[in-house]
Amino acid sequence: MKKLTVLITTYHEAFVVRGGGEYELLSIADGLRQCGIIADIYGPYSRPLEFYDVVLHFSVHGGGLSLLRQIKQAGKPVVLWPNLWADGLDDAAVSAIREHVALADYVTFKSGAEMRNFLSLVDVPEARIVKCKAVADMSHLKPVPRALFPELYGVRDYALWIGLIEPRKNQRSIIGPLRERGIPLVLVGKYRDRAYYESCRKAGGSDVMFIDSLPQRSEILRSAFQNALFYAELSLEPAGLSALDAGLSGCRLLLSDSDWSREHFLEHAEYVDPRSTDDIAAGIGRVLDRPARNEELSSHVSGYCFPNAMVPLVDVLRRAVE
């Protein structure tokens, strides 16, 4: 079988401030390579367009449309990975999403919840819909031999949250309830909204540690998960890959109550209303009552790991070329 060649594209501003979506794009590229596929990310060092069999376009942000139009004009098949939780979008954004769908040969969804949310806004012909899976990093199944993160950062018995610091992620919601219990919070992530970031710093004071980033797949990141009291992500949209990575680590989970969360974690997490301080406080109590390490959770989330979780995406990329 001929080795498949894939060009991964996205909108031009995506990597100005890297968030979970950008790390997911890089993870997908790496996973495809591990499956024996040539996968390049578009840029100065990618090869000419004619070299590639198919294009995987990541996101439906309008900034990528001009590139996608040219790719389609060149006759390349396109598989769209929307990576979108559609909520409160204006007419211009919806119009851009519809054009992305029109340009794509197939549209992939990582969960039933994401698909239902997307289809409530934009129609996609059933024959072009493909159900894939989010792909978590198997490295988080491997224990770290010592408390590396607590030793380096001087913090213990903490709650951990990884992601861009911004209003939709809703980090400020948990600061007060954690302070009431005397639990420090570690926030790992940069920001796009400086005003919101500063409001979190002011609200958190010395009880919140801010870390710009931790290296992906590193021992220190794995140690951060494995030594946390629990992992929290109370965003106003579905949690990201970090929640799956935390689950692989066996870390207790406190998440926003949503179809996405329950689809991925079933009864293995605690769920709260991210807009309710009282519910968040109660959820903290419940998650702390769970066993410190959850092997059933690790086993369940391992179903989202490479290589099996990559199979639906690889299949649709090959199908698009046929």
pLDDT recorded at residue 90: 85
pLDDT tier, 63 (very low <50, low <70, confident <90, very high otherwise): confident
CB 104 within 8 A of CB 80: yes
CB 139 within 8 A of CB 217: yes
pLDDT tier, 89 (very low <50, low <70, confident <90, very high otherwise): confident
CB 292 within 8 A of CB 249: no
pLDDT > 90 in the chain, percent = 75
Strand partners, 230: 159
77: pLDDT strictly greater than 90: yes
pLDDT recorded at residue 66: 94
Q: What is the pLDDT of residues 236-284, one digit of tens each?
A: 988 888 999 999 999 999 999 999 999 999 999 999 999 999 999 999 9
Whole-structure pTM value: 0.87
6: pLDDT strictly greater than 70: yes
Mean pLDDT score, 172-179: 97
Mean pLDDT score, 67-73: 96
Which one has a higher pLDDT value, 66 or 21?
Answer: 66
Residue matched to tokens 């950062």: 153
1: pLDDT strictly greater than 90: no
Which one has a higher pLDDT value, 217 or 37?
Answer: 37
| Residue-averaged pLDDT of the chain | 93
pLDDT recorded at residue 303: 86
180: pLDDT strictly greater than 90: yes
207: pLDDT strictly greater than 80: yes
Which one has a higher pLDDT value, 233 or 121?
Answer: 233
Q: What domains are there in the chain, each with its CATH number?
A: 5-135+306-321 (3.40.50.2000), 138-304 (3.40.50.2000)
pLDDT recorded at residue 212: 94
321 contacts: CB under 8 Å, gap ≥ 6: 4, 53, 54, 77
Amino acid at site 127: A
- Strand segments, DSSP code E, in the chain are 5-9, 38-41, 54-58, 78-81, 106-109, 129-131, 159-162, 185-188, 208-211, 230-233, 253-256, 270-272
pLDDT recorded at residue 21: 78
Distance between CA 237 and CA 248 in Å, rounded?
21
182: pLDDT strictly greater than 80: yes
pLDDT recorded at residue 13: 82
Per-residue tokens: 165: 């610091």
pLDDT recorded at residue 24: 85
pLDDT recorded at residue 132: 92
pLDDT tier, 43 (very low <50, low <70, confident <90, very high otherwise): very high
Amino acid at site 160: L
Q: What is the pLDDT of residues 142-169, one digit of tens each?
A: 889 889 999 999 999 999 999 999 999 9
CB 108 within 8 A of CB 187: no
44 contacts: CB under 8 Å, gap ≥ 6: none
Instruction: Give the number of other Cβ atoms within 10 Å of residue 224's Cβ.
Output: 28
314: pLDDT strictly greater than 80: yes
